[in-house]
Amino acid sequence: MSWSRFLAVLIKEFRQVRRDRLTFAMMVGVPIMQLILFGFAINSDPKHLPLALVDADRSEFSRSFIAGLENSAYFEITERPAGEKEGDAMLAEGIVQFVLVIPPDFSRKLIRGERPAMLLAADATDPAATGNAIAAINAIGQRSIGRELAGPLASLRPAEQPFEIRIQRRYNPEGLTRYNVVPGLIGVILTMTMVMMTALAMTRERERGTMENLLATPAKPVEVMFGKIVPYILIGYVQVLVILVVARLLFDVPMVGSLALLSVVLVVFIAANLAVGFTFSTIARNQLQAMQLTFFFFLPSMLLTGFMFPFRGMPGWAQAIGEALPLTHFLRVVRGILLKGNGIAEVAPHLWPIALFMAVAGAVALLRYRQTLD
Amino acid sequence: MSAPAAAAIIDVHGLTKRFGDRVVVDHFDMRVTRGRIYGFLGPNGSGKTTTIRMLCGLLTPDEGEGTCLGYDIRKEAALIKREVGYMTQRFGLYEDLSIEENLDFIARVYAVEGRAAKVKATLERLGLHSRRRQLAGMLSGGWKQRLALAACLIHDPQLLLLDEPTAGVDPAARRDFWDEIHDLAAAGLTVLVSTHYMDEAERCHELAYISYGKLLTQGTVAEVIAGAGLVTWAISDGDLVALGHALRAAPGIRTVAPFGTTLHVSADDEAGLTAALAPFRSAGLTIKPIEPSLEDVFIALMQGASDNFTPPAQ
Ligand SMILES: Nc1ncnc2c1ncn2[C@@H]1O[C@H](COP(=O)(O)OP(=O)(O)OP(=O)(O)O)[C@@H](O)[C@H]1O
Ligand SMILES: [Mg+2]
């Protein structure tokens, strides 16, 4: 490996990136945009869902229940249709997320101990949107109607549980999605931009006709690879810095762990992704194919690593794929460092899989790199 | 002619390259000695670029072996690359880097001593010093070629491989270019240059003509012309267009080509020409025997070569 040739490629890459203003702006702009989208717009515990109420009972019980609903913050009564049919039409149109029908004889049957039913119809096309609200409604019913069943009616009250379960939400006491999502975004954004940039970096040489010239020079594969990878490691650091600053200022995400430790893990993680991108660039014939390969890698990284969906909720085969991806381990590390304040001892078990991935991807990239045009 | 003992800069035998089952270069031999300008001619798709790529280690030959600068073209490609300046057919420098940055990159990749001074000197010699910050992509075609040539020379190579270096360049710039090539050759540099221009072919010390991957002829301009054994007549006056059409179909005629107000007609011998022209003798034609030009020779060679062209498989 020659220092001069490595520097030659490195400086050239830097100059090209700097000149490509749009790409450069995107590499800083995309993290900010994604942060804001995921931080503000994407919420897996939605509140104030619109509900159409058909209260045919109009009793103390129904009024108390309705008050309970409104207090829960999960529901907001936006419509009061005349009957069930009209309510169903609203649900079908998507005006409301729920239709609640309290039948006319609800309170009478309740007092007689006949276990009457009210109907909550939910638009469950997106289960994530309705899941928590549905879980909440039972508790609301017990609390509000139970309160009304006093005096002679106390015998109708459901028996209290003989014990209590106390739940502690650690590291994220308010259960804020963004505490989980924002550190994860560091990994997701790095995966996308790093793989894509390197995958494009080599295919661009091929497409623009500069590859032949580059191959005709004495530059060796290692020199070209490192020369092309190092600038993007620095760009990756800039991205992380942007994300951390925005996460701190806009979302108050706690950062209890060591940022120095995080930056060590970052090098390995970024290099792993760059090696993947470099491998792709040896396969793709043009920039479009390079983009497609990037997404081929990016999708499982989004879906199977515990970024979008809880890792432990996935079937075994999906977890196995997830374990092989560097993002899975990086997510554990970055959440551990930022939210839990993990140190080197807790981080190390997740660091070596990333390093192993990097070594394998780098070796494949170097093996596939052709020094000829055959 | 140089003595056979003179150092062979390029010496290859039986070089063959196939893409799929199509033979693109077919048992090609070439020997170029130091300080010579060697012209490489042939129709489109005849395998010139492919041959040049094999010489500098960018393609591995399927058969054949040889040396370039004394290094084995199969095993010592890395050593060859250091001492060769290769100018690709398509502009191969970075259009999004400035002129100076491109030269700087090349100088660093070849680990040139005294890089900054060398780059500056090159810029000044090209007359591009004031425009050094301009992006290479903004240059006109002729300037791109000058820049590419300067980039090939920055590491003082022993051998220049130039693949159609003057395609699309105006005559004055081409003349400057060839003057420079001759100066470099006089200083000991060996040059292999592919071209489609006959006037450039005539400026070379030696020529090789390749068609469908096969070497058809090689030698000095005089040797190539003599070797073809053509007899050429220049015909003027009369209805040359009609005559041309009629002669093209006539047996024994190798080439018919209009040159301004004359028609060059070539055949393998005088008898053939006389026979073919007999029916038109009455038309008041003026006939003058001339020395066949390189172009006459090449067109005759090309038409004699077997046609193995198949459209490239996608
Ligand atoms: N990588 C490749 N794969 C398949 N076929 C190829 C490849 N490179 C070249 N060819 C084919 O080989 C033949 C010779 O190509 P080459 O570029 O060597 O011709 P050339 O003499 O340089 O032509 P031109 O004068 O047009 O530049 C062409 O028909 C071309 O289609
Ligand atoms: Mg060519």
Q: Output the domain CATH number for residue A65.
A: 3.40.1710.10
- Residue B303's CB is within 10 A of a number of other CB atoms, namely 11
DSSP summary character for residue B98: B
More confident residue, A95 or B84: B84
Please state the rounded mean pLDDT for residues A322-334: 93
For the ranges A284-288, B18-22, B159-163, B244-248, the lowest mean pLDDT is seen at B244-248
Whether residues A211 and A321 share a domain: the answer is: yes
- Pick from B53, B62, B41: nearest CA to B86: B53
- Decide if pLDDT at B306 tops 60: no
- Pick from A25, A231, A208: nearest CA to B136: A208
pLDDT in tens, B258-287: 888 888 898 888 888 888 888 877 667 888
pLDDT category at A62 given cuts 50, 70, 90 is: confident
- Decide if pLDDT at B310 tops 60: no
Q: What sign has the CA pseudo-torsion B160, B59, A217, B177?
A: positive
Residue type, A341: G
- Decide if pLDDT at B115 tops 90: yes
**Fold for the domain defined by B8-224:** Rossmann fold (3.40.50)
Distance of alpha carbon A6 from alpha carbon B109, whole angstroms:
8
User: How would you list the strands of the sheet with B286-290, edge to edge?
Assistant: B253-259, B262-267, B231-236, B286-290
**The last residue of a domain, from among A170, A200, A225:** A170
Query: What residue owns the CA closest to ligand 1's atom 24?
Result: B44
Whether residues A135 and A280 share a domain: the answer is: no
Where do the structural domains in chain B lie, given as residue ranges? 8-224, 231-291
pLDDT category at B222 given cuts 50, 70, 90 is: very high
pLDDT category at B308 given cuts 50, 70, 90 is: very low
- Decide if pLDDT at A145 tops 90: no
Q: What is the model's pLDDT at position A43?
A: 63
In a domain, A131, yes or no: yes
More confident residue, A126 or A217: A217
Whether residues A226 and A367 share a domain: the answer is: yes
Residues whose CB falls within 8 Å of the CB of residue B249, separated by 6 or more in sequence, listed in order: none
Whether residues A150 and A214 share a domain: the answer is: no
In a domain, A15, yes or no: no
Q: What is the model's pLDDT at position A156?
A: 66
Please state the rounded mean pLDDT for residues A291-316: 89
In a domain, A35, yes or no: no
- Residue identified by tokens 């939400």 is A169
Mean pLDDT across chain A: 85
Whether residues A166 and A274 share a domain: the answer is: no
Please give the CATH superfamily to which domain B231-291 belongs: ACT domain (3.30.70.260)
Whether residues A188 and A220 share a domain: the answer is: yes
In a domain, A150, yes or no: yes
In a domain, A87, yes or no: yes
In a domain, A130, yes or no: yes
More confident residue, A93 or A224: A224
Which pTM was predicted?
Answer: 0.80
* Residues A221/A366, Cβ–Cβ less than 8 Å: yes
Distance of alpha carbon B47 from alpha carbon B52, whole angstroms:
9
- Decide if pLDDT at B314 tops 60: no
Distance of alpha carbon A368 from alpha carbon B61, whole angstroms:
20
- Decide if pLDDT at A52 tops 50: yes
Q: What is the model's pLDDT at position A140?
A: 77
More confident residue, B278 or B17: B17
Please state the rounded mean pLDDT for residues A318-346: 91
* Residues A64/A144, Cβ–Cβ less than 8 Å: yes
In chain B, % of residues over pLDDT 90: 61
Ligand 1, from B26, B48, B90, B195: best to mutate by most atoms within 8 Å of Cβ?
Answer: B48
pLDDT category at A38 given cuts 50, 70, 90 is: confident
Is residue B9 helix, strand or coil? strand
Query: Is some CB atom of chain A closer than 8 A to the CB atom of B97?
Result: yes
CB contact residues (below 8 A), chain B span 30-89, against chain A: 53, 56-60, 77-78, 81-82, 84, 86, 88
Whether residues A149 and A227 share a domain: the answer is: no
Query: What residue owns the CA closest to ligand 1's atom 13?
Result: B45
- Is ipTM > 0.90 here? no
Pocket of ligand 1 (CB under 6 A): B 19, 24, 42, 44-50, 89, 312
**The last residue of a domain, from among A136, A155, A170:** A170
| Cβ contact, residue pair A16, B94, below 8 Å | yes
| Cβ contact, residue pair B111, A212, below 8 Å | no
> Domain of A122?
49-170
Q: What is the model's pLDDT at position B200?
A: 93
| Cβ contact, residue pair B59, A373, below 8 Å | yes
Please state the rounded mean pLDDT for residues A362-371: 86
Burial class (CB in 10 A: 0-12, 13-18, 19+), B241: exposed
Query: Is some CB atom of chain A closer than 8 A to the CB atom of B91?
Result: yes
pLDDT in tens, A153-177: 666 666 555 555 555 556 666 666 6
pLDDT category at B241 given cuts 50, 70, 90 is: confident
- Pick from B8, B13, B55: nearest CA to B34: B8
Q: What is the model's pLDDT at position B103?
A: 96
Whether residues A142 and A68 share a domain: the answer is: yes
pLDDT category at B80 given cuts 50, 70, 90 is: very high
Q: Domain total for chain A?
A: 2
For the ranges A169-173, B57-61, B229-233, the lowest mean pLDDT is seen at A169-173
Please state the rounded mean pLDDT for residues B225-235: 88
